[in-house]
Structure 1
């Protein structure tokens, strides 16, 4: 079981993650939707496509752009469609 924890709160928990470039991508339904809020931030990966971001809120604190996902990944990254990964201090393991 892989968990994502931030600010002492479990924000995702799954035994079905996809690891790409060292990052665990969780199924969207394994992530606590209540901790996510939309961000206007995007970035481009040459082989995965256009990433979108979420802010993560746990125990009253906001971690801006701490989660990302690819809503329409390129063919080479199809395995991470509708999955969410974390960074910026979110502990995954």
Structure 2
């Protein structure tokens, strides 16, 4: 699977975990040079507290376009150390 935005591959892996139709990529598969920590957080009742990354490619910013669960609840432990995408990031194989 690949995560692509602004004609650039942000992450690539054959080992994604699908939860609620979102592909969670291993954290070590993301190209960290495109990611910036965000102050945004949301809470899911069964997954826990999500943190976000903004993505910057070729000078363009996609705010909070990726998220992860630093300490997911037990029901979502399979997505620990994984990153998912939205906001126009295309996930394809």
Q: Normalising to structure 1: TM-score of the pair? A: 0.98
Deviations 1:32-91 (A, max 9, x none): 011110000000000000000000011111100000000000000000001000000000
Contact 1:9 1:59 in 2 (8 A): no
Q: By how many angstroms is 1:13 displaced?
A: 0.4
Residue aligned with 2:75, SS: helix
- Aligned residue in 2 for 1:55: 54
Rounded to whole Å, the distance in 1 between the matches of 2:55 and 2:77 is 24
Q: Which ranges in structure 2 are unaligned for 5 or more consecutive residues?
A: none
State the distance in 1 between where 2:3 and 2:59 align. Answer: 17
- Give distance in 1, aligned partners of 2:8 and 2:59: 11
Query: 1:24-43 residue pairs with structure 2 within 5 A?
Result: 24-43=23-42
How many residues of Structure 1 are paired with residues of Structure 2 in the alignment? 92
**2: distance between equivalents of 1:62 and 1:8?**
13
Q: Does structure 1 residue 82 correspond to structure 2 residue 49? A: no
RMSD: 0.4
Q: Distance in 1 between matches of 2:25 and 2:90?
A: 13
